[in-house]
């Protein structure tokens, strides 16, 4: 059995989703000769560490009962740097002002020779090249499938399955909250404020939902795609962004009468990065409804490849994290 030691930094919806997925897939992984052993968990209250492996059921219960995982005296940097393990799952919340605490956590992990798997968009939307170089300089791998599109495997598809292709451009819907709002407003004729509240209740909106509705979350994801796929060194400030706050129910109705839907579309290609509401024909591959995300990738050999799926959610995001962990287990 190959034992792979992991820490989970950030124990909110995503971090807990990772713990639940590791528990749910234990036998499945064991059958493949893999034992994922979580030796440290950190949240904003502190850390818990057990070199023999933390009982994840107890950890999840403790978090539920007390609101924190904190037990030991280690700081998060001591956990990342000093506790022996191979993979740091960085799942702290996105901060697009300065990328912290994720940025420092990732740099500390690289410096101490650990691979990073992350769902945290902030550091990648601000300092992608620096992080990539830090990983390379330290001989470790940097995996970030969960940062864009939740469960939808955009980077693995492009970098692995479409490896022989040149990607000419990408367009997509990368924010579930705005897609949900636009769908509900158009189909049920519900007011903006009400459907925004629904999206918040579904737990998919950002803590500050202006990040969603002003297109900032989409811009961050588009930048991560541009940097990863087109080798750019962009930040989210390089994206031309228009949000959905000025879309009226009348505009949606008029679009519908003419067989169109309005979508917040992200586009990368020809050196341009744009997020803006667009009219999309109702039968177009980008016309996905509800909280779904979609990415349509234009390539030279394969033509257009479109994938769609759940762009947010605890276990859905953990699906991408688990896939990155297994990539590391098999390729490092
Ligand atoms: N607020 C984001 C969304 C969460 O609605 O898509 C996933 O990044």
The tens digit of pLDDT for each residue in 268-310 reads 988 899 999 999 999 999 999 999 999 999 999 999 999 999 9
pLDDT, mean of residues 143-165 = 97
Residue 73 has pLDDT above 90, yes or no: no
Domain residue spans of the chain? 2-150+314-331, 158-310
DSSP H or E stretch at residue 309: strand 304-310
Residues in contact with ligand 1 by the CB-under-6-Å rule are 150, 175-177, 204-206, 212, 217, 311-312
pLDDT value of residue 218? 98
- Binned at pLDDT 50, 70 and 90, residue 123 comes out as very high
**197 is known as an active-site residue:** no
CA-nearest of 324, 328, 309 to 120 is: 324
Distance, CA of 261 to chain centre: 26
| CATH superfamily membership of 2-150+314-331 | NAD(P)-binding Rossmann-like Domain (3.40.50.720)
Atom of ligand 1 lying closest to residue 147 CA? 8
Q: In what order do the strands lie in the sheet with 272-281?
A: 240-241, 272-281, 260-269, 167-173, 292-299, 304-310
> Ligand 1 atom 8: the closest Cα is on which residue?
312
Straight-line distance from the first to the last Cα atom of the chain, in angstroms, rounded to the nearest whole number: 16
Query: 196 alpha carbon to ligand 1 midpoint, in Å?
Result: 13
Which protein residue has the closest C-alpha to ligand 1 atom 7? 312
pLDDT at 5 over 90: yes
For range 39-62, the mean pLDDT: 97
- Rounded to the nearest angstrom, the distance between the alpha carbon of 266 and the centre of ligand 1 is 14
Q: What is residue 237's three-state secondary structure? A: helix
Give the number of the atom of ligand 1 that is nearest the alpha carbon of residue 206. Answer: 1
pLDDT of residue 114: 98
Q: pLDDT band at residue 207, thresholds of 50, 70 and 90?
A: confident
pTM: 0.96
Q: Which CATH architecture has domain 158-310?
A: 2-Layer Sandwich (3.30)
Measured from the Cβ of residue 284, the count of other Cβ atoms closer than 10 Å reads: 15
DSSP letter string, 238-276: GSEE--STT--HHHHHHHHHTTEEEEEEEEEETTEEEEE
Residue 309: strand pairing partners? 293
How far apart are the CA of 112 and the centre of ligand 1, in A? Answer: 31
Among candidate residues 209, 273, 271, 204, the one with its CA nearest the CA of residue 242: 273
Mean pLDDT of the chain: 96
CA-wise closest residue to 83 among 46, 47, 56: 47
What atom in ligand 1 is closest to the CA of residue 205? Answer: 1
Contact 9, 92 (CB under 8 A): yes
From the list 114, 121, 221, 310, the catalytic residue is 221
């Amino acid at each position: 059995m190959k034992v792979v030691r992991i820490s989970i930094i950030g124990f909110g919806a995503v971090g807990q989703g990772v713990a639940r997925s590791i528990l749910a897939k234990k036998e499945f992984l064991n059958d493949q000769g893999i034992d994922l052993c979580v030796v440290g968990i950190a949240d904003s209250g502190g850390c818990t560490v057990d070199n023999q492996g933390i009982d994840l059921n107890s950890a999840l219960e403790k978090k539920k009962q007390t609101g924190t995982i904190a037990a030991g005296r280690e700081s998060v940097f001591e956990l990342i740097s000093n506790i022996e393990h191979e993979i740091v799952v960085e799942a702290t919340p996105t901060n697009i002002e300065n990328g912290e605490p994720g940025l420092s956590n990732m740099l500390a992990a690289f410096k101490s020779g650990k691979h990073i798997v992350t769902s945290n968009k902030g550091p990648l939307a601000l300092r992608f090249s620096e992080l990539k170089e830090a990983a390379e300089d330290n001989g470790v791998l940097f995996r970030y499938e969960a940062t864009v599109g939740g469960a939808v495997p955009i980077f693995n598809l492009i970098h692995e399955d479409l490896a022989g292709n040149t990607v000419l451009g990408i367009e997509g819907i990368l924010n579930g909250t705005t897609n949900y709002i636009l769908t509900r407003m158009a189909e049920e004729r519900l007011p903006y404020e009400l459907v925004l509240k629904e999206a918040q209740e579904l737990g998919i909106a950002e803590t500050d939902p202006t990040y969603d509705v002003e297109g900032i979350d989409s811009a961050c994801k588009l930048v991560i795609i541009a940097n990863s796929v087109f080798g750019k060194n962009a930040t989210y400030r390089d994206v031309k962004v228009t949000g959905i706050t000025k879309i009226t129910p009348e505009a949606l109705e008029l679009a519908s009468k003419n067989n169109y839907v309005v979508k917040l579309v992200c586009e990368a290609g020809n050196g341009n990065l744009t997020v803006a509401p667009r009219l999309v024909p109702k039968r177009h591959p980008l016309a996905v409804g509800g909280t779904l995300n979609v990415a349509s990738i234009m390539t030279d050999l394969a033509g257009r490849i479109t994938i769609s799926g759940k762009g947010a959610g605890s276990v859905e995001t953990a699906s991408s994290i688990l896939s990155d962990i297994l990539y590391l287990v098999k390729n490092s």
